[in-house]
Chains A and B, each alone.
Chain A
Amino acid sequence: MKLHRPANRHLALAAILLVLPFIIDALFGHGWVRIADFALLYIMLALGLNIVVGYAGLLDLGYIAFFAVGAYTYALLGSPQFGLHWPMWVTLPLGAIIACIFGVLLGAPTLKLRGDYLAIVTLGFGEIIRIFLNNLNAPVNITNGPQGISGIDALQVGGFSFGESHQWLGVRVDDVHLHYYLFLAFTLLVIFVSRRLEDSRIGRAWVAIREDEVAASAMGINTRNIKLLAFAMGATFGGISGGLFAGFQGFVSPESFSLMESIMILCMVVLGGMGNIGGVVLGGVLLVALPELFRHAAGPVQQMLLGKVVVDPESLRMLMFGLALILVMLWRPAGLWPSTQRRRELNTEEGA
């Protein structure tokens, strides 16, 4: 697998990523391409949360709220709900900007909080957003409450819609494939921005704040702005992912933005390897793919071995997920693919 020339490696990776949806389609069927699309959305979310949790060390348990803000912005401005049908190149950036503003709104009052205290406040924030979305159908109907918003416009650039199949040179390319490429492009953008941030002055400031906030300010780091920036950047990525989600699904409801989702994304970051982009991507892929695999396999496997379905696949799925989490944390506490720094930190703690 290890190709030595980095250029070759990148080329090989690009080729794999390009043909991947067709391979998945041929091997596992259409539904799995859809799952790959979701995996990309989750990877974007996980990378956004990675900035807040992995880089700046601020534990955020309400991250899904920014995803919700992006999704509802897109949904409200591109659906029959208000009869608005704004184009994607307006609603998507607008969703990102509004999510960014919400990020600062969450960040500003919590500047002095750390660790568990911050976690509690962010958890509350996530719930507040969800409950608002659930209840903003009266007295004036804005979000359509628990029924959610349906009939959302498909993602569309110019006259080109990602929501329908296209024929090119006799090859039929389905909407799930098209979404895959669109999401892949956005994911690569998010990865690129994350990498640049990591290597920048801002990235170093985040490390300093994560390690020791007082010492960081003694270094001349404007801790307030740098923390707000972490929240804002993380939220922006969440907002973009949310807008794409709304356009992809064609339907949003508050149900999709529960606390469990925030925790899932946090798990992707922690399980994959906090602070390491590769690890976070790996975490996202695994936590989207494995539960799906279980959903499909748990029933038939029981049928085959025991002759009947003993445990409901759905509950088994959560059970296995919990077990996997515990095992990983026991054997690889820094995550499956940790950043060099995190690995070093944990090693010294063991050694000390």
Chain B
Amino acid sequence: MNLLEVKDLKVTYGGIQSLKGISLTIAQGELVTLIGSNGAGKTTTLKALAGLLHPASGKVNYQQQSLLQIPAHQRVASGISLVPEGRGIFARLTVEENLLMGAYVRSDKAETATDLERQYVLFPRLAERRSQLAGTLSGGEQQMVAMSRALMSHPTLLMLDEPSMGLAPLMVEKIFETIRDISAQGVTILLVEQNAKLALEAAQRGYVLESGAITLSGAASELLGSDAVQRAYLGA
């Protein structure tokens, strides 16, 4: 059963077509990656799925229902959560306030408190810094805040936009480890990455996006081995 089905999605940005009709599917529980170079349309895709951009045409079905008429804030309530590029944390709120903000769409206070404790188990670093301002954390820790905050809304589909961007290699490892953990808990993940190798190693399937169109797709291991991907992204 597909959780998300995107068909012929087109997005126009000020007269320029940044998505020229892409189609992709994500099954429940899958970890799928969307790789591509700068300006290929990866972020645009995620923004359109989160409802922050309005597509010119195409279909987006989530749990067998069209998403197109659903505003962004209602998509969060229905389980679609985006960790935006550059993390988008509330820099001047504390770590804990950030996480609680993630639970905005949930009303059960007791459950939110349990969730918070669960996040601190998943990210012990955040527990140490719970009362620190999020803006004063390192890039990797901020990424943890962003991911953890997204998890607070109990997402069915978690979309991550370049989580490794600007992080030290060790931190990148750590972030990917966490992504695998979250996936193992049953959360469906759509991972957008420039770091094709790491993303394909973590994911089950992948799509390659080039100038607004999907040029390759398949099992992650196949893509990792394919000549085209090797040449274009892995510098082999």
Residues of chain B within 8 A of A205, CB atoms compared: 104
Task: From B72, B93, B105, give the contact of A211 (CB < 8 A).
Answer: B93
Known: A201-B104, A214-B84. A219 touches B89 (CB 8 A): no
- Mark B95-122 against chain A: 1 for CB-CB distance below 8 A, else 0: 0000011101100000000000000000
Cα A212 to Cα B101 with chains together (Å):
12
Tell me how far the C-beta of B152 lies from the nearest C-beta in chain A, rounded to whole angstroms: 9
Question: What are 23 of the A-B contact pairs (CB < 8 Å)?
Answer: A204-B104, A207-B90, A207-B93, A207-B101, A208-B90, A212-B91, A215-B89, A215-B90, A218-B52, A218-B76, A218-B81, A218-B82, A218-B84, A219-B102, A219-B149, A219-B153, A220-B104, A221-B104, A222-B71, A341-B92, A341-B93, A344-B92, A345-B92
A211 and B91 form a contact (CB under 8 A): yes
Residues of A within 8 A of B89 (CB): 212, 215
Given A217-B73, A220-B73, A220-B77: A348 and B136 within 8 A (CB)?
Answer: yes
Partner of B101, one of A208, A214, A222: A208
A143 located at the interface, meaning its Cβ lies under 8 Å from any Cβ of chain B in the complex: no
Which B residues are in CB contact (< 8 Å) with A204? 100-101, 104
A223, CB-defined interface residue at 8 Å: yes
Asked if B88 is at the interface of the complex by the 8 Å CB criterion, the answer is: yes
Does B135 reach chain A (CB closer than 8 Å)?
yes
Chain B residues contacting A217 (CB-CB under 8 Å) are 52, 72-73
User: In terms of DSSP, what is the predominant structure of the interface of chain A?
Assistant: helix
CB distance from A346 to the nearest CB of B (A): 10
Of A212, A221, A345, which contacts B88 at CB under 8 A? A212
Query: Which of the listed residues B50, B73, B77, B84 has the most CB atoms from chain A within 10 Å of its own CB?
Result: B73
A residues near B102, Cβ cutoff 8 Å? 219
On whether the beta carbons of A219 and B101 are closer than 8 Å, the reply is: yes
Q: Which residues of B contact A219 (CB under 8 A)?
A: 76, 101-102, 104-105, 149, 153
Known: A205-B104, A218-B82. A223 touches B133 (CB 8 A): no
Residues of B within 8 A of A201 (CB): 104
Q: Which residue of A lies closest to B106 (CB)?
A: A220
A211, A214, A219, A222 pick with most chain B CB within 10 angstroms: A219
Closest 3 pairs between A and B when the two form their complex, measured CB to CB: A220-B76, A220-B105, A215-B88
Please report A residues at the B interface, Cβ cutoff 8 Å: 201, 204-205, 207-208, 211-212, 214-215, 217-223, 341, 344-345, 348, 352
| Given A220-B73, A348-B135, A352-B136; 6 other pairs, CB 8 A cutoff | A208-B90, A211-B91, A215-B88, A218-B52, A218-B82, A344-B133
Please give me the residue from chain A that is nearest to B71 by CB atom: A222
Report how many A-B pairs have Cβ atoms within 8 Å: 69
* A222 to B173 Cα, complex, angstroms: 35
CA distance A341 to B91 in the complex (A): 12
Contact with A along B7-36 (1 / 0, CB 8 A): 000000000000000000000000000000
- Assembly CA distance A352 to B92 (angstroms): 12
Instruction: Say whether A218 contacts B104, CB under 8 Å.
Output: no
Instruction: Give residues 132-173 of B contacting A (CB, 8 Å).
Output: 133, 135-136, 149, 153
Name B92's closest neighbour in chain A (CB-CB): A345
CA distance A348 to B131 in the complex (A): 13
Q: How far is the CB of B148 from chain A (nearest CB, A)?
A: 13
Interface pair A223/B84, CB less than 8 Å apart: no
Q: Are the CB atoms of A208 and B104 closer together than 8 Å? A: yes
- Decide if A223 touches B73 in the complex (CB within 8 Å): yes
Cα A345 to Cα B52 with chains together (Å): 28
User: Residue on A with the closest CB to B83?
Assistant: A218
Chain A residues in 8 Å Cβ range of B153: 219-220
Residues of B within 8 Å of A215, CB to CB, are 84, 88-90
Which chain A residues border B76 with CB–CB below 8 Å?
218-220
Q: Are B90 and A218 in contact (CB under 8 A)?
A: no
A344 to B73, CA, bound (A): 29
In the complex, A267 Cα to B88 Cα: how many Å? 31
Shortest beta-carbon distance from A53 to chain B in Å: 16
With a cutoff of 8 Å between Cβ atoms, the chain A residues found around residue B101 in the complex are 204, 207-208, 219
Residues of B within 8 A of A212 (CB): 88-91
The distance from the CB of B86 to the nearest CB of chain A, in whole angstroms, is: 10
Residues from chain B with Cβ under 8 Å of A223 in the complex: 73
A220 contacts which chain B residues (CB < 8 A)? 73-77, 104-105, 153
CB distance from A202 to the nearest CB of B (A): 11
Question: In the bound complex, how far is the Cα of B73 from the Cα of A223, in angstroms?
Answer: 8
Contact status of A218 and B133, CB under 8 A, knowing A205-B104, A344-B92: no
**Chain A hits for B100, CB < 8 A:** 204
Q: Which residue from chain B places its CB closest to the CB of A349 in the assembled complex?
A: B92
Closest Cβ of chain A: how far from B160's Cβ, in Å? 12
| Given A201-B104, A219-B153, also A348-B88 (CB < 8 A) | no
Pair B52/A214 contact, Cβ less than 8 Å: yes
Chain B residue nearest to A222 (CB atoms) is B73
